Structure 1
Amino acid sequence: MTATAPGSVNWNTEALNEIVSADTDRPVLFTNARVLTADPLIGTMTGADVLLVGSVIVGVGPGIVTAAQDDNAIVVDCTGMSIVPAVVDTVALVGGRGHRAQYVATLTPGNTADLLVVPDGLAEDIPGAVATLFTRPAEVRALVAAGAPVLWAGTDVPGRDTAPATGVPATRDMTGDPRVGVWIDREDFLHQELTADGHYDETRGGRPHAYRGRYWIDGDRIDYLDDLGFWAFGEFVGDELHHAGYVMKLG
């Protein structure tokens, strides 16, 4: 199967086909690019490489390509291209974060592999490169999310993730889910009942029905839509439910 649509730019088609193969977990190396990392320590580099292993960036800089054969990496030649973060930390770009460790979505080793590849002429800076996605999407050479190609050579990648449907989803039947039950915080102030019909009911400080509404669980995340109209969220961490500063366990 070819991953390039008719009429699209012929750019590293063979590499894309290798990346999207269901039976490969090889490293992917974007090489010989101008890399605008948005990392204050690393900065911008020319003739540089970005090495991805799974969903993580593991190396940035010149010379990584020398190990590509040893590592059986899939090589993507980015001559004439610039690589920028696909998710822009606008607060960091304007100097609003005091510590490098607070920066998010930079092309820093250890960070999630979200990156954008565009021709050098469309990447005067990071915001300009990202704007290409909306103003000239056909010029995008690659858009990668958590190591997986989303766009390639100006077209959608076959089998790519698609955005969830807009609008409030139907309430799910949670019968049999081990997270259904009454969650109680450490001070016994908050009791949050998750029912099998996809609804929740909170008792706070002995006050029943303080908040009520619907909930949806996606992985370790739980989203709430209160009957008052506001949205909130929580996270399951081991056997705990973290929500709005409360740490709860099943009662």
Structure 2
Amino acid sequence: MSKTHPAFTTGGLAAVRTRADRPLLLTNATVHTFDPLIGVMCDADVLIGGSVIVGIGPGIVTAAEDDDAVVIDASDTVILPARLDVGTALGTVERGSGAGTLAPGSDASFVVVASDHAPDLPAVLHAAYARHDLLLAVLKDGQPTHWAGEHLGGASTASLQPESVAVDPRRVGVWVDTEDFLHQELTAGGRYDETRGGRPHAFQGRYWVDGDRIDYLDDLGFWAFGRFIGDTLHHAGYTMHQQASR
């Protein structure tokens, strides 16, 4: 009788967290490696040593006990890189040299989704990159950052949704560039209003603040961004300072 292994459950997470320096093996998954030599593998195992993909393909699980590996049952799941890099396919990036593919030697950074949500490649990509609620697991450099619906730390954009408001009260006010050309008002309600060269309401829209980054969605439909560095706001080539409240 084959041994039963934990899956993408709290029990599986506990096993992964206690692995220390032991290898981690995900078994029996469909793996989109995005590597031009390997391609897609079905009923495949993914072996992780430290932060690197060590092996990939069927049959690796037979040596799991010899290697004292922690094994996770990945049946009925699809695994693909956490980041895609077309440079590998074009030959401008060395195979297995980092993120972007799941070839042996690549970073062990990948996402796992249920096969039910991934009948074909477009569906896989949509589930993995646009539907964080469908993710069974995310690993970065061999360490889980998301598992069984739980975010385990690190940066999260779960609160940054189009319908939400993400405002930092410290940033609310009028920001003026060094040449007094651009005036940008950030309101407490998550709206911005730009005056350019004395022309009022040149651009208006919504904004979201995420740490030191600010994202703009103009009412015309385009996106832009800026970065807070110390007491300055850098946006579209302008350096702005916050105007003192009157």
| TM-score of the two chains, using structure 2 as the length reference | 0.57
- Report deviation, 1:124: 4.0
Query: Match of 1:80?
Result: 76
Residue aligned with 1:19, SS: helix
Note if 1:146 corresponds to 2:192.
no
Whichever residue aligns with residue 53 of structure 1, its letter is G
Gaps in structure 1 of 5+ consecutive residues: 1-9, 172-212, 214-224, 231-251
Partners of 1:143 and 1:32 lie apart in 2 by 17
Query: Match of 1:38?
Result: 34
Whichever residue aligns with residue 22 of structure 2, its letter is R
Partners of 2:69 and 2:87 lie apart in 1 by 34
Note if contact 2:46-2:53 (Cα within 8 Å) is conserved in structure 1. Answer: yes
Note if 1:131 corresponds to 2:126.
yes
- Report deviation, 1:152: 1.1
1:166 alignment partner, one of 178, 194, 212: 212
- Report deviation, 1:99: 5.8
Deviation readout 1:40-72 (Å, 9 max, x if unpaired):
111111111001111111110111101111111
Note if contact 1:15-1:74 (Cα within 8 Å) is conserved in structure 2. Answer: no
Map 1:55-94 → 2, pairs under 5 A: 55-90=51-86
- Report deviation, 1:150: 1.3
Note if contact 1:113-1:147 (Cα within 8 Å) is conserved in structure 2. Answer: yes
1:101 alignment partner, one of 94, 100, 106: 94
Give the paired residue count.
165
Query: Match of 1:115?
Result: 110
Note if 1:54 corresponds to 2:54.
no
Gaps in structure 2 of 5+ consecutive residues: 1-6, 157-209, 214-226, 240-246
Query: Match of 1:13?
Result: 10
Residue aligned with 1:65, SS: helix
Distance 1:34 1:101, change over 3 A: same
Residue aligned with 1:58, SS: strand
